[in-house]
Each structure stands twice: as structure tokens, then as C-alpha cells.
Amino acid sequence: MPDPADFDLERFLPYLLNQAAEATSRSFQASYKAAYGLTRTQWRVLANLGKFGSMTARDICRISHIEKTKVSRAVAALEEQGLLSRTTSPLDRRAEILALTDAGRAVFADLGQRAIEYDRALRARLGTQIAADLDDLLRRIIAEGTPVGDED
């Protein structure tokens, strides 16, 4: 039975991960927020559409592990801004096929580049081999990282 006095937030993995995530997200946030007024979620949805082409909101949920509510609102906002268009699926009239508009693709082109550059710079500073290992670790954490249960 561990002594609670031994507990140190600074060595607590969830905390460290959070800080690291905040640090990186925050600084990249400037790109999509300042330049295009996008939310983190909106940027992610856009990035998925940019990468994978047309798909339905549900697909985005599956791929990106973002909850449906968040996706739904992000999609609404992106549509509002003219960055994506919705078409009711002919196969399933509940579903909507989402696709970036030209404007959306332009934004993705710009942000995609910046993201690549940002990522490269960060990895370079960490050391590319190390960064690659980090990827694996993070994926493992994401995959099995939820020992207690309670999935998102």
C-alpha cells in the first residue's frame, strides 16, 4: 500500500502527458486560431477531411476518437465558415457526406504545411530516432492506456 506522501504530481504520467500536450497544442494553436479562427476540434475535423477526403461524421468519430457532439458542432461551424459542405447520403438518409470546399482545401493546404513544419522542428529538437520511439510509446498509451476502463 503506497504512502500518499510519495505521490508527486510532477512524476505522474497523466499530468506530464497533459502538460506536454498543452505545450505543443498551444503553440500550434496560433496557426489555426489566429489565422483562421478555428477551434482545435474544428482543425482536427478539417485535417481528417483533408487527409481522407469525403466521409461521414460518424467516420470522423471512429478515426479521430472525437465524440459525436464535438464533431457535430465542429462540422456545423466549418460549414458556417464555408469550409465544408454536407450532402445527404443516398444510401442512408440519416448520414451526411462531408467534403471540404475549395476554401476548405486551401485552409487545409496551408495548415497542413505548417503542421508538418512544426512537427519536423519539434522532432528535430528531440532527435528523430527518439521522436519515433515516442510515437510508439504514445500509441501504446493511447491504445492500452486506460487500465481502469472508462473509455472515451
Partner DNA sequence: GCAAGTTAGTTGCATACGCAACCAAGTCAA
Partner DNA sequence: TTGACTTGGTTGCGTATGCAACTAACTTGC
For residues 24 and 58, give the distance between their C-alpha atoms in angstroms, rounded to a whole number: 27
Between residue 36 and residue 65, which ones bind DNA under the rule CB under 7 A? 39-41, 56-59, 61
Among 94, 129, 137, 148, binds DNA (CB under 7 A): 94
Stretch that binds a copy of itself, among 2-10, 74-82, 83-91, 95-103 (CB under 8 A): 2-10
Among 100, 122, 128, 129, binds a copy of itself (CB under 8 A): 122
In terms of Cα–Cα distance, which of 70, 67, 66, 76 is closest to 96? 76
Tell me the CA end-to-end span of the chain in Å, nearest whole number. 29
- What is the DSSP code string of 70-100? HHHHHHHHHHHTTSEEEEE-SS-TT-EEEEE
Between residue 11 and residue 70, which ones bind a copy of itself under the rule CB under 8 A? 11-31, 44, 47-48, 50-51, 64-65
**Smallest separation, CB 48 to DNA (Å):** 13
Among 82, 92, 117, 128, binds a copy of itself (CB under 8 A): 117
Binder of residue 113, out of DNA, a copy of itself, none (CB less than 5 to 8 A by kind) = a copy of itself
For residues 145 and 18, give the distance between their C-alpha atoms in angstroms, rounded to a whole number: 14
* Count of residues in contact with DNA, rule CB under 7 A: 23
For residues 113 and 47, give the distance between their C-alpha atoms in angstroms, rounded to a whole number: 11
Strands 55-56 vs 84-88: parallel, antiparallel or unpaired:
unpaired
Stretch that binds DNA, among 11-19, 66-74, 105-113, 138-146 (CB under 7 A): 66-74
Would you tell me which residues interact with DNA (CB under 7 A)?
39-41, 56-59, 61, 67-76, 92-96
